Amino acid sequence: MRSVIWYLREFLRAPWVHAFLFARTAPLVTPSHFRDYPTLTDVECTHCFSCRMICPAPGAIEVLQEGGAWHPVIHRGHCLRCGLCVEACPEGVLASGRILRWQEEDRTSFRATFRIQVDHAKCMRCGNCCVSCPVNKEQDPQMAGGGHSSNDEVIMRIAGGNHTVIHEERCVGCRTCEEGCPNSAIRVARILEGVQGVAER
Amino acid sequence: MKKVVDVSIPLGPVHPCWKEPARIKCETRGEKVLSAEVELGYMKKGIERIMKGRPWQEVLFLAERVCGICSVIHNMVFIEGMEAISGITVPDRAAYLRVVVNELDRIQSHLLANFSFCYTIEHETLAMYLLNTRERAMDSLERITGARVNKAYMIPGGVRFDLRDADRAALCADLDHMEEAVNRYARMFEGGPLIATRAKGVGILTREQARIARAVGPTARASGIAEDLRLAHPTYRRLQFAPIVRTEGDNFARIMVRFQEIFQSIMLVRQCLHDLPAGPIRGGGTCGAGETVSRGEAPRGELSYFIRSDEYGRITDIAIRTPSIMNIDACTHYMLPGVTSLADVTSVFVSADPCIACNER
């Protein structure tokens, strides 16, 4: 009996009756503040690859050239929708939810530095890393197998029978050298720092 | 030693009452449970192994995915560990915003836990009410962080997004709504005569047993152990936090502790919003080499991360201990034996709020 009274009191309340008779399920709309898959804005991409270097998910973002223009491509299903690429882009090419607007208002950004670490005990001085490095390729297009170079502007080269890193600061963190190394001797550390109120590079 | 049992009844691994797979084997005589044993291992993912060799910006997302229900605390404990290793300080505003998000996450986790219990005892009305209220907490989180489940909100040296005034007003409205709604549901739960038959005096864990089984979180606090790691957290200390303790140690107490903690969390969020200092939300700082054990109070109890990193801030070694394993142990060894009806086994297990995904990682 107590339960019956309880249920009557619970379900004969005006808000409940109103909801029972007139409630409509709200349409399933993604709110504008949801951090969805990044979309492209109209800003031109400078293919600096910052978005690719910060992305935590393997194979989620690529920067491709199509008809002379570069633009990032998001692979859905790989993308975690974390929004780090949106924050990392210095130009504001990508947008997701309110991240881009907030970033401009708060002047927040990520600062990435890249460090090259070579295990000389494992390194065979084959020069694969130096040859595969895209920055090296730009500086010294003549660099061939062996990784020798007379150009002092390259990131790294094989000199005097040893692997030497000359311009670590030029590294863009793409890790191509890691993939090309037959002995896992070279590693690139991507060091990330969240900053506010600092002018972007 | 040979035991005389009628029958050994397996429950699970696929069971309609449980959100995640686990198997409980109950030795019974008639309806009475004599002893129970739990079998885990249905959802091992090997997350700790995947984390090794990666920098924080990759491990952060893996840490969040250890547990879908309490992802914020995994984020927070991991990042606080990295900050302790590297000597990074957090701006005041960011520290308060972390507490706001963490407490909102606790609210939604506790609401989900209480939903599961009500659902298990077949009180679907109350269960769905609670789930409906939980959406408010989820919406607030989405407004602040941009995502509902895996928020990725905290980074070393601060948080990712600031709290806007419009969102703050919406958050306050949500808090008022949640407080009013949960207050009504807590009273329904407390005064429900049918709920009492399934909750009061069922699955008792005494204080001594809780101590021996190393129960943590709301399960321990419902048995009279006043332990809460938020007491040791610098930001919570500033908020004059005091844990909620009940002494009954039964299903009812565990659920009521969670209801009371929801109110406490609402008060903490309000206090944070009131005290929220102006200033930056990110202090910068890079991660370095070191080794530490970082602890925090997850919605289910003590969560600890052992972290070792190299000079570039990459994780070389990591070990996670999640709270549920102790609570599952306490449940199978102390709560379940002596349960007078086999029908209560599921509700007792669910009242300890086991998170199997956390356990097996």
Residues 6+ apart with CB under 8 A from B339: B32, B33, B202, B203, B345, B348
First-to-last C-alpha distance (Å) of chain B: 35
H or E element in which residue A50 lies: helix A50-54
Here the tokens at position A140 are 């010294």
CA gap B323, B220 in Å, rounded:
11
| Predicted local confidence at residue B2, as pLDDT | 62
Interface predicted TM-score (ipTM): 0.83
Instruction: Please name the residue of chain B whose CA is at the shortest distance from the CA of residue A187.
Output: B53
Provide the percentage of residues in chain B whose pLDDT is more than 70. Answer: 98
Q: Is B282 in contact with A108 (Cβ distance < 8 A)?
A: yes
Write out the E strands in A46-185.
Answer: 61-66, 69-74, 94-95, 108-118, 156-159, 162-165
- What is the pLDDT confidence band of residue B5, given thresholds at 50, 70 and 90? low
| CA–CA distance, B349 with B172 (Å, rounded to integer) | 35
Report CA dihedral (A134, A137, A139, A143) to the nearest 10 degrees: 140
Using CB atoms, which residue from A96, A189, A194 is nearest to B55?
Answer: A189
B12: tokens are: 């699970």
* B346 pLDDT higher than 60: yes
pLDDT digits (tens, 9 = 90+) for B303-312: 999 999 988 8
CA distance B332 to B328: 6
- Contact status of B168 with chain A (Cβ, < 8 Å): no
B351: its two tokens:
């009242």
Nearest to A195 among B125, B284, B313 (CB): B284
Nearest to A33 among B142, B157, B313 (CB): B142
pTM (2 d.p.): 0.89
pLDDT per residue over A117-171, tens digit each?
888 888 888 888 888 888 888 888 787 777 777 777 788 888 877 888 888 888 8
Give domain A39-106's CATH architecture.
2-Layer Sandwich (3.30)
Tell me if B294 sits within 8 A of B135, measured CB to CB.
no
Give B285→chain A minimum CA distance, Å.
6
Contact B152/A at CB under 8 A: yes
The per-residue pLDDT for range B35-61, each reduced to its tens digit, is 888 888 888 888 999 999 888 888 999
Q: Any chain A CB within 8 A of the CB of B87?
A: no
Question: In a structure prediction context, what are the per-residue pLDDT tens digits for chain A, which is 201 residues long?
Answer: 777 887 788 788 888 888 888 888 778 888 888 888 988 888 888 888 888 888 888 888 888 888 888 888 899 889 988 888 888 888 888 888 888 888 888 888 888 888 888 888 888 888 888 888 888 888 887 877 777 777 777 888 888 778 888 888 888 888 888 888 888 888 888 888 888 877 544
Using the beta-carbon criterion (under 8 Å), do A189 and B147 form an inter-chain contact?
no
Q: CB of B23 within 8 Å of any CB in chain A?
A: no
Closest CA–CA distance from residue A144 to any residue of chain B (Å): 31
User: What is the largest distance, in Å, between two alpha-carbon atoms of chain B?
Assistant: 68
pLDDT in tens, B165-184: 888 999 999 999 999 999 98
CATH 2.40.110.20 holds for B46-360: no
> Number of CB pairs < 8 Å for A and B?
89
- Helices within B192-289 (DSSP H only): 193-199, 207-212, 217-221, 234-238, 251-275
Nearest C-alpha of chain A: how many angstroms from B225?
35
Top residue of B97, B282, B314 to mutate, by most chain A CBs within 10 Å, is B282
The reply to whether residue B285 touches residue A193, judged by beta carbons under 8 angstroms, is yes
Six-digit token string for B327 = 């609570």
Q: Measured between CA atoms, how close is A56 to chain B, in angstroms?
A: 5
Q: Structural domain boundaries of chain A?
A: 39-106, 114-190
* Mutate: best of B56, B312, B314, B316, partner A, most A CBs <10 A: B312
Instruction: Please tell me the predicted confidence (pLDDT) of residue A146.
Output: 78
**Chain A touched by B158 (CB under 8 Å):** yes
Query: A194 to chain B nearest CA, in Å?
Result: 5
At residue A10, the pLDDT reads 77
Test B286 with A191 for CB contact under 8 angstroms.
Answer: yes
Q: Do residue A106 and residue B162 have CB atoms under 8 angstroms apart? A: yes
pLDDT digits (tens, 9 = 90+) for B59-72: 999 999 888 888 89
* Fold for the domain defined by A114-190: Alpha-Beta Plaits (3.30.70)
Could you count the other beta carbons within 10 Å of the beta carbon of residue A112? 17
Binning pLDDT at 50, 70 and 90, where does residue B106 land?
A: very high
- End-to-end CA, chain A: 74
Residue-wise pLDDT for B143-170, tens only, equals 999 888 888 899 998 898 888 888 899 9
Asked whether the beta carbons of residue B312 and residue A108 sit closer than 8 angstroms, the reply is no
Element (H, E) at B32: strand B32-39
A150 CA: distance to closest CA in chain B (Å):
30
Rounded to whole angstroms, the Cα distance separating A52 from A62 reads 6
CB contact under 8 A, A189 and B286: no
Give residue B178's pLDDT. Answer: 92
Position B262 pLDDT exceeds 90: yes
- The whole-number pLDDT of residue B313 equals 85
Percent of chain B with pLDDT over 90: 32
Spatial distance between the Cα atoms of B174 and B253, rounded to a whole number of angstroms: 26
pLDDT at position A201 is 43
Stretch (H or E) spanning B10? strand B7-11
Least Cα separation, residue A7 to chain B (angstroms) = 10
Is pLDDT at B345 greater than 50 in this prediction?
A: yes
Mean pLDDT score across all residues of chain A: 84
Query: Are the C-beta atoms of residues B319 and B306 closer than 8 Å to each other?
Result: yes
CB pair distance less than 8 Å for A196 and B57 = no
